[in-house]
Amino acid sequence: MTTSATECLLRMYDEHHELEDYQNGVPRWCTGCGDNAILTAVQRLCRDEDLRPEKTAFISGIGCSSRFPHYMKTYGFHGIHGRALPVAEGVKMARPDLHVFVNTGDGDCCSIGAAHWIHAIRYNMNMTVLLHDNQIYGLTKMQASPTSPIGTKSNTTPRGAYLEALNPLTVTLGVQNVSFVAQVVDWIPEVLYEVVKAAFHHKGFSFIRIVQRCPEWLPQMFEPWLHDPNRILLLNHENGLRVSPGLAKVYQNQAVHDPSNLHRAREIASSLDPIPVGILYRNPDVPRYEEVRHAGQLRSTDLIEKGLNAELDKFTVWPEAQRAA
């Protein structure tokens, strides 16, 4: 692919961005919502990695989490319910040079978007996927979601949820071509940032389940884990998450876990208490769909213009004389 004149000019000097370069508007999430911590971690990552805003895209579906693109001063696409992943795949196929992030919720991803989620794992396209899991439908005011624990009382389950909750980790780890799976909690910002950073650098479909608090509809849900560090199982390994000394003093319940061990990752993912936090699985050798299909290599300017004109011509009302000719 040839390099445009604009691209050449941008490369003539070292570009540096501040945190403010990625901040767009004032988030409208509730005070104490875990989405705020996720936004801070991602904006820090963009700054520290010096990601060019015009080369970065955030894609989302519907839900509290999916307002994320509105608060990033980058390209963004606020899609329809459950369709964030296919939109992101389309972006990546058309523009494999972009840094693509997906923000989705437990309902958006694990309910209406479940089929897209499964196949996105299988395609293993190079993108960072953040599952904001507060275990409740927040935007539509407290309905049970697929990840709501059994017994959860909500507007749709006033007597308590009847079914065991879906586990996004075990589901993801059970799909062919899985290449990166991690879990974090919103109240440990150091780990949240480090795992998002590791996911960004992974070449493939990086899936992070973020256990987050919803202070409006489930204010007490994670209080026991928040106040008892021993109910967090911190995963560390030289090829995974490296725990700082300060964090290790607080979270002493730790396990050395090699993220290349898929069988052990599946065992750890099944634990609900303590909550495992860290990188469960990583395999950089899984083929990526956009490379298998040589994405973007045939999209010259002339070809794009020709394709657009061909589609627009389908809806053009031609004058009778010109139509006859």
Position 23 scores a pLDDT of 94
CA distance 182 to 175: 15
Position 325 scores a pLDDT of 57
DSSP character at residue 66: G
Structure tokens at 46: 């963009």
Task: With respect to residue 313, please indicate whether it lies within any of the assigned structural domains.
Answer: no
Average model confidence (pLDDT) for the chain?
92
DSSP character at residue 54: G
Minimal CA–CA distance to 46: which of 68, 73, 86, 80? 73
Task: With respect to residue 54, please indicate whether it lies within any of the assigned structural domains.
Answer: yes
Position 12 scores a pLDDT of 47
Task: With respect to residue 26, please indicate whether it lies within any of the assigned structural domains.
Answer: yes
| Beta carbons within 8 Å of 190's beta carbon, 6+ residues apart | 244, 247
CA distance 59 to 43: 15
Task: With respect to residue 211, please indicate whether it lies within any of the assigned structural domains.
Answer: yes
Q: Which residue has the tokens 């909750």?
A: 165
Task: With respect to residue 10, please indicate whether it lies within any of the assigned structural domains.
Answer: no
Sheet order of strands, 99-105 included: 75-78, 56-60, 99-105, 127-133, 205-211, 180-185, 275-282, 232-236, 254-256
Task: With respect to residue 3, please indicate whether it lies within any of the assigned structural domains.
Answer: no
pLDDT 10s digits, 297-307: 656 778 788 88
Share of the chain above pLDDT 90, in %: 83
* The model's pTM: 0.88
CA distance 277 to 232: 7
Domain coverage including residue 158? 15-287
CA distance 72 to 282: 28
Task: With respect to residue 295, please indicate whether it lies within any of the assigned structural domains.
Answer: no
pLDDT 10s digits, 254-264: 999 999 999 99
Are 69 and 77 contacting, i.e. CB atoms less than 8 angstroms apart? Answer: yes
CA distance 37 to 156: 28
pLDDT 10s digits, 171-204: 999 999 999 999 999 999 999 999 999 999 999 9
pLDDT 10s digits, 233-242: 999 999 999 9
Output Rg (C-alpha) for the chain, integer angstroms: 21
Please check the confidence at residue 106 and state whether its pLDDT lies above 50. Answer: yes
Please check the confidence at residue 52 and state whether its pLDDT lies above 90. Answer: yes
Task: With respect to residue 308, please indicate whether it lies within any of the assigned structural domains.
Answer: no
| Domains identified in the chain, total number | 1
Q: What is the CATH number of the domain that holds 213?
A: 3.40.50.970
